[in-house]
Amino acid sequence: MIAEFSDVDRSFYEREFTFFDDVTSISGKLKPFIKEPKPVKKQKIEEELRKIKVEVGVYLPSNPDGVVIGIDRKSGKPLQSHAKAPYMATFRIQKTIGSMEQADNLLQDANKNGGTDSEQNTVEVWQSAIFKVGDDCRQDVLALQMISAFRGIFNNVGLDVYVFPYRVTATAPGCGVIDVLPSSISRDMVGREAVNGLYDYFISRYGNEDSLRFQEARSNFVKSMASYSMISYILQFKDRHNGNIMIDDAGHILHIDFGFCFDIAPGGVKFERAPFKLTKEMVAVMGGSTEHQAYKWFEELTIKAFLASRQYTEKLSQIVLLMMDSGLPCFKPESIQNFKDRFVLEKTDREAADYMRHLIKKSQGSYSTGVYDQFQLITNGIPY
């Protein structure tokens, strides 16, 4: 393919891949500094970012709809990891406005992050991305494709729930770029900011429980909790510590980092036995009691999401089947059958609804979830 490129195309190909290799390789250069304190790692990242030249027309692989026109050379931030050295950096992106809907979205971003050039019909925004070397991002790509498929199902049946399949692009064996979720904070960071729990965070962020802003945020929380809970069970997301759970500005809960799903758990640890993560503090945001209207709504939406998805078991299985021979560690020979079994297709809809209600009850305040959070606090310093 490369041999067939025209001179112009080859020149662009070389510019793009040189730029991206330069940016990604910083993660590899950080490896010797893994045990160093964060300020040392940050200094190394900034030193490497200063060496990168932004050529004309290059783009971030996860954002091909805009060109990179600059780098915030001081934005480099090392991310928490035991063996890898992922880092985050922020880029200045210029995008062309197409449709009216796209224009509205881009202008909102631009108002937050930059400015517009109406004469050129373009906007400029800041876009942060995470770069990894030595990490197979294909598993994240698969999980997010599945989340997108579930979102399509929910839209088809008119179910008002929320998921956010952000972009992950595997750029080479063991390399990848991950979009940073906009306007979001991890539950881990909420804890580090000395807020006692999610409910306290919602009160401090949105006002008292009877305020309109709190009610809207709670509603968003419930809609996202329902969909992610059901999907977490079906795809068997593990490693659900508070660094992998985000809250966005609107109050939605969002899951990230799907390195452990289907039939693999971190280090073979079997702490996370609950069908999905449903902690006391999550219940507190949803009214604090299983009798509260908000909690009952969460239960109802989770069951509806499960029943809607069962009709598409075969189509969803096909997506998984395509990746079965990929060599991804999450797959075992029995993975497809296990995946289908979780939809309990032998049960009637009423029986399946009762089954999901049982899983919700089993997950609520699960002892094993608490043990895993304690394990993460001790080993990785992640508060809960």
Query: Which residue, 133, 168, 195, sits at the end of a domain?
Result: 133
Are residues 161 and 21 part of one domain? no
Are residues 153 and 92 part of one domain? no
Are residues 307 and 164 part of one domain? yes
Are residues 145 and 42 part of one domain? no
By CB neighbour count within 10 A (0-12 exposed, 13-18 middle, 19+ buried), where does 200 fall?
middle
pLDDT in tens, 289-322: 999 999 999 999 999 999 999 999 999 999 999 8
Domain that holds residue 72: 2-133
Q: Is-contact 228 198, C-beta < 8 A?
A: no
Mean pLDDT of 35-55: 91
DSSP track, 105-150: HHHHHHHHH-EEETTTTEEEEEEEEEEEES--THHHHHHHHHHHHH
Query: Which residue, 133, 160, 182, sits at the end of a domain?
Result: 133
Are residues 171 and 212 part of one domain? yes
pLDDT in tens, 124-171: 989 899 988 877 788 888 899 999 999 999 999 999 999 999 999 888
Q: Is-contact 40 33, C-beta < 8 A?
A: yes
Are residues 166 and 48 part of one domain? no
Give the Cα separation of 329 and 142 in Å (integer). 13
Are residues 305 and 176 part of one domain? yes
Cβ-Cβ contacts under 8 Å for 259 (sequence gap 6 or more)? 135, 139, 140, 239, 266
User: Does 194 have pLDDT greater than 50?
Assistant: yes
Are residues 153 and 102 part of one domain? no
Query: Which residue, 133, 164, 182, sits at the end of a domain?
Result: 133
Give the Cα separation of 107 and 116 in Å (integer). 7
pLDDT in tens, 319-361: 999 888 888 878 888 989 999 999 999 999 999 999 999 999 9
Cα angle for residues 212, 216, 221 (degrees, 5° grid): 145
Q: How many residues does the chain have?
A: 384
pLDDT of residue 114: 53
Q: Residue 369 — pLDDT band, cuts 50, 70, 90?
A: very low
Q: Residue 103 — pLDDT band, cuts 50, 70, 90?
A: very low
We report the CATH number of the domain holding residue 13 as 3.30.1010
Are residues 338 and 323 part of one domain? yes
pLDDT of residue 48: 93
We report the CATH number of the domain holding residue 144 as 1.10.1070.11
Are residues 324 and 281 part of one domain? yes
Q: Is-contact 217 250, C-beta < 8 A?
A: yes
Give how many domains the chain has, as a whole number: 2
Are residues 256 and 347 part of one domain? yes
Are residues 194 and 112 part of one domain? no
